[in-house]
Amino acid sequence: MTVQGILYALSDPVRVRIFVELMDAECTKNCTAFLKITKTPIPKSTLSQHFKILREAGLICSARKGVELQNHVRPEVTKRFGPMITEILKAYAEELSAYCVPGG
């Protein structure tokens, strides 16, 4: 887990949304749970690539269950990089709200 890897992984809005949903999830989730994470459905192959990047950055872990991978956020992430990740996610939320404000 490196700062550069985390910054790269969280540089894509889709990966940020996946990461936030996994952080808020009470259980593991597979890739297909995120097919409609955007207005336009994302192909499974693209989602798989996003999950690979999040996994390689050390943000999530995946465990094989049958033919699917079940994903969850690694607990070490918040212990080691919590404040940095919190600020990144806060900045994304502020950007998103700025786009949603009429006339903004």
How does pLDDT run along the chain (104 residues), one tens digit per residue?
888 999 999 999 899 999 998 988 888 888 878 888 888 888 888 888 999 999 999 999 988 888 888 899 998 888 888 888 888 888 888 887 776 655 54
Q: Which domains does the chain have, with CATH numbers?
A: 3-99 (1.10.10.10)
pTM for this structure?
0.83
Amino acid (one-letter) located at 97: S
pLDDT of 100 reads 64
Q: What angle do CA 56, 3, 29 make, to 5 degrees?
A: 40
The residue assigned the tokens 């992430």 is 77
pLDDT of 54 reads 95
pLDDT of 80 reads 86
- Residue 104: other Cβ atoms inside 10 A: 7
User: Collapsing DSSP states into helix, strand and coil, what is residue 9?
Assistant: helix
